[in-house]
Structure 1
Amino acid sequence: MGSQALADLAISPIPGLWITGLASQYPPHLIQPEKLDDAAARFGHDLESPGLKKLLQVNRHTGIKTRSMVSTYQDGFATGSELPSIVEIDNYFRQVGVDLAAQACRKALRESGYGPEDITHTVAVTCTNEGNPGYDLLVARQLNLPHTIDRTLLHGVGCAGGLSILRTAGQLALAATYRQRPARVLCFACELCSPNIRREMHEAERCPDPADICIGGALFSDAAAAFVLCNEYAMMASSDTGSLKNDGPRGRRLFQLLEWGSATIPDTEDELGWYTEPLGRRAILSRNVPGYTKKAIRPMFEQLLPSYQAKAGTGTGTDLLQPDNFDWALHPGGGTIIEGAQQVLGLTGDQLRASREIYETRGNSSSPTVLAVLDELRRTGGRGRDHVVATSFGPGLMIEMAMLRRCRGEGEEEE
């Protein structure tokens, strides 16, 4: 490829952005719903108190068969007689959470074919740690990433975080393309929600009105996920000097990122939240959230679709793709959110198979979950559809959506 072709990359209307490695990492423990009842009794809670009784009832009917957790209710962190303080939770994350995130990053790097020395940027997110310097620096040190990397750490986006880092990485990679430089962006999300379950039970027991309890203690789990996003220069260049070579397995294409969007749903900032307090974090999860998400998802899809379709080369005008032409990596915030999306978009169960699988077997681990769904999606259901939508929701309420095209013959075997 000559110098003119290289220059053309900077002005191409089609983003040259590819996910080249993708991984999810769950901790070793899978906890069944009934174990929460056992834990509440063992910690001395009043199981007949209206609030806790309601929380345990919800826990048995979420549709989650197992939740992934960094420790069991029997031993490990937060199993003593006293509730852990926010200081203890913080210290625990900056050891165990960092290790979990680093594991996910190593898997994504291994699949991408790139080494730590090749990474030019990192974009990370968490809502379960607020330390400064951010945990992304601790992960970078553990991975031996170059000290010259461009680091970005997002906060305040909650369950939307997995796609927030994808959007941010896409913008950074396109900026690098404009500057005619390679971008190999390592992105990762990590959440440890289970250390907060003790506080959820504590607060539920003291809540006089069962209608006012937060059901987060029945939904949330622990996980990390990571991916590598590359621009066109990174796929061709052996170094930041821009010299070209055939890298063999390096930079194999899994998905091409073609379009994305983000929006805040007006007057919903009190519907979903996560606030730090002395004994952990206070979660706010309104019963109105599924209704808001249901109303927001189709308008965002229709807003992004024409641009995506033009870039994907599948026709324009009245010949538009429909929701059922896509596989959906929907963040499984709860069973009603999955059902609402399926109803409003007219989707089949097969199109949401990965979302249901992750929800039922791992629970909702906040920001990494949508990336874990995307990872699961490429491994289940045979060949799958060529077009993929990933979408998630977070505090604000905000909606994040990304549209991707599967790359056949490189990151996925034909069947």
Structure 2
Amino acid sequence: MKSYISAIGIANPSYKIPQMQIADFMAEATQMNSQEKRKLSALYRSTGIDYRYSVLADYSKHTGVFEFYSNTPDLEPFPMIEQRMRLYREHALPLCIQAVNNCLFAYQDFRIKDVTHLITVSCTGMYAPGIDIELVEEFELSTNIKRTAINFMGCYGAFNALKAADAICRSEPLAKVLVVCVELCTIHFQKEKTEDHILANALFADGAAAVIMEAQPRSSCSISIESAYCDLLFDGKSDMAWHIGNFGFEMRLSSYIPDMVKKGIRKLTDKLLEHLKLNINDIHLFAIHPGGKRILEVIEEQLGMQKDDNRYAYQTLKEYGNMSSPTILFVLKALWNDLQKADAEKNILSCAFGPGLTLESMLLKVNYT
């Protein structure tokens, strides 16, 4: 018995902002001098990001016309956690609805009311009754639907949702699982000029993704989950972390993360493939979480990949930035859009990373029926 991804839908907020325009906002908001501005511009140009999406228009504006942040030179009084969670509650659900509708558009033979399990993923906001219950109400799903919420896991959260959905489908042949990931990373902007905050402010964006999973392959193209493997590198425990502060959620994001990934990615991949009696030469396609340009380069070095092998990760990073948990689903969606019948039975290696330092990997396979 296997599980199959039958469709993926993605969604972004309405504000699509050029990366260098966001750099201008950050320089002004943190009151940088000319030397600091030059360094910031160099950092933003080096990210491989062209655009990011946000629920906030302020990142494309200057002091005096902000709608959320204070119209003062230092942005004081700075928004408290309550104000940021109000934004999350206002914008997260509509983004989820859009992603689910796009997923259904991609799978028009599927009836949303047949969903038996709902799994929601988020690390950038929370409230109760939460998004899971609101989605049940919005799509008029059964009130006795089985709900699971996966929270505060960061960029690898979608992997845990897919693994949970996989377990459900393998144990319940009639299961229809809807997975919904949503993150509003940009509502947590921090203005202190620390390395962590400057780096996080340069990478993260807002987005949502939805996935339908079933125990039988769809009567066209679907992607099966063959196996998964997770590991922890405690040496990197302090290099990536996510805490709730008085002024929003605060990311600990060290420049040493690529070195940590370099240390563990080959072992992670070997363990995954060893279980399936495969080797790296049996991998045909890659869906890697674009945690940053340097992380992608390190993975290529360690796995003997060409840059073109990582094209879906680079494409996602360029067009959207890092949206935390939905990002890997954006990468898979970009890959899916290129699939043809000749790709049947091809293996896909997918990886993501997050606090812990957690390394997640998954082997997928293209199916055509």
Distance 2:203 2:301 in 1: 22
Give CA deviations for 1:307-328 in whole Å, capped at 9, x if unaligned: 43xxxxxxx5xxx442573211
Larger Rg: 1
Distance 1:366 1:379 in 2: 21
* 1:379 counterpart (313, 337, 342): 337
Give the gaps of 5 or more residues in structure 2. 72-76
Aligned match of 1:219 = 203
Aligned residue type for 1:19: I
User: For residues 134 and 345 of structure 1, do their structure 2 counterparts lie closer, same or farther at Cα, with a shift above 3 Å needed?
Assistant: same
TM-score (structure 1 length as normaliser): 0.79
User: For residues 342 and 120 of structure 1, do their structure 2 counterparts lie closer, same or farther at Cα, with a shift above 3 Å needed?
Assistant: same
Distance 2:301 2:268 in 1: 16
Give CA deviations for 1:90-131 in whole Å, capped at 9, x if unaligned: 121122111101111122233333222100001111110122
Aligned match of 2:185 = 193
Aligned match of 2:81 = 86
User: For residues 40 and 293 of structure 1, do their structure 2 counterparts lie closer, same or farther at Cα, with a shift above 3 Å needed?
Assistant: closer
> Would the aligned equivalents of 2:266 and 2:302 in 1 still touch at CA under 8 Å?
yes
Deviation (angstroms), 1:46 = 1.8
Give CA deviations for 1:259-298 in whole Å, capped at 9, x if unaligned: 1122222233211112111211211001121111122222
Number of equivalent positions: 356
Aligned match of 2:306 = 348
TM-score (structure 2 length as normaliser): 0.88
Distance 1:64 1:360 in 2: 4
Aligned residue type for 2:290: P
* 1:296 counterpart (264, 270, 278): 264
User: For residues 95 and 404 of structure 1, do their structure 2 counterparts lie closer, same or farther at Cα, with a shift above 3 Å needed?
Assistant: same
Matching of residue 36 in structure 1 with residue 25 in structure 2: no
* 1:255 counterpart (223, 242, 245): 223
Aligned match of 1:390 = 350
Distance 1:175 1:158 in 2: 27
Deviation (angstroms), 1:41 = 5.9
Distance 2:172 2:141 in 1: 19
Distance 2:320 2:245 in 1: 26
Aligned match of 1:265 = 233
Q: How does 1:332-371 map to 2 (within 5 A)?
A: 332-371=290-329
User: For residues 35 and 136 of structure 1, do their structure 2 counterparts lie closer, same or farther at Cα, with a shift above 3 Å needed?
Assistant: same
> Would the aligned equivalents of 2:176 and 2:214 in 1 still touch at CA under 8 Å?
yes
> Would the aligned equivalents of 1:47 and 1:53 in 2 still touch at CA under 8 Å?
no
SS of residue paired to 2:235: coil
Aligned match of 1:20 = 6
SS of residue paired to 1:254: strand
> Would the aligned equivalents of 1:324 and 1:346 in 2 still touch at CA under 8 Å?
no
SS of residue paired to 1:396: coil
Give CA deviations for 1:296-349 in whole Å, capped at 9, x if unaligned: 2222222121443xxxxxxx5xxx442573211000000011000111001122
SS of residue paired to 1:267: helix
Aligned residue type for 1:255: I
Give the gaps of 5 or more residues in structure 1. 1-14, 236-249, 309-315, 411-415
Aligned match of 1:100 = 95
Report percent identity of matched pairs.
28
Deviation (angstroms), 1:53 = 6.6
Distance 1:146 1:256 in 2: 26
Give CA deviations for 1:64-105 in whole Å, capped at 9, x if unaligned: 111122233236753442432211211211221111011111
User: For residues 384 and 48 of structure 1, do their structure 2 counterparts lie closer, same or farther at Cα, with a shift above 3 Å needed?
Assistant: farther
Name whichever structure is richer in strand by fraction. Answer: 2
Give CA deviations for 1:346-402 in whole Å, capped at 9, x if unaligned: 112221110000001110000000010000012248765811111101111111111
Aligned match of 1:413 = none
